[in-house]
Amino acid sequence: IAGITQAPTSQILAAGRRMTLRCTQDMRHNAMYWYRQDLGLGLRLIHYSNTAGTTGKGEVPDGYSVSRANTDDFPLTLASAVPSQTSVYFCASSLGQGGNEQFFGPGTRLTVL
């Protein structure tokens, strides 16, 4: 693994289904983030984690949950997907919460029907 990876690349999901988007980084970064990107709305922060074992809510957390059991992994779960969660999801990491550069994963394109 080099950098930060996300899986799946894309997914079509029926409304009401549970879905977990995976994010893994091998840079030993302490801070990790989940964003959604919608046309005309830029990137909006969903949840973040400043270090393993801690998480926090971003700008649009409703309908999403995260966990940070270790430094490398930061999965995002949609407990019961709704069509408004159709978006492109980006995971990012930085050296620390004060890190000056966020490294972004390639993104997951999610469609909820």
CB of 83 to other proteins, least distance (A): 22
Residue 47's Cβ-side half-sphere holds a number of Cα atoms within 13 Å equal to 20
In terms of C-beta density within 10 A (0-12 exposed, 13-18 middle, 19 or more buried), how is residue 98 classed? exposed
Q: Is 12 in the site for other proteins (CB under 8 A)?
A: no
Closest contact distance (angstroms) between CB of 95 and other proteins is 12
Instruction: Give the interface with other proteins as residue ranges (CB under 8 A).
Output: 31, 33, 35, 40-45, 48, 50, 56, 58-59, 90, 97-98, 100-107
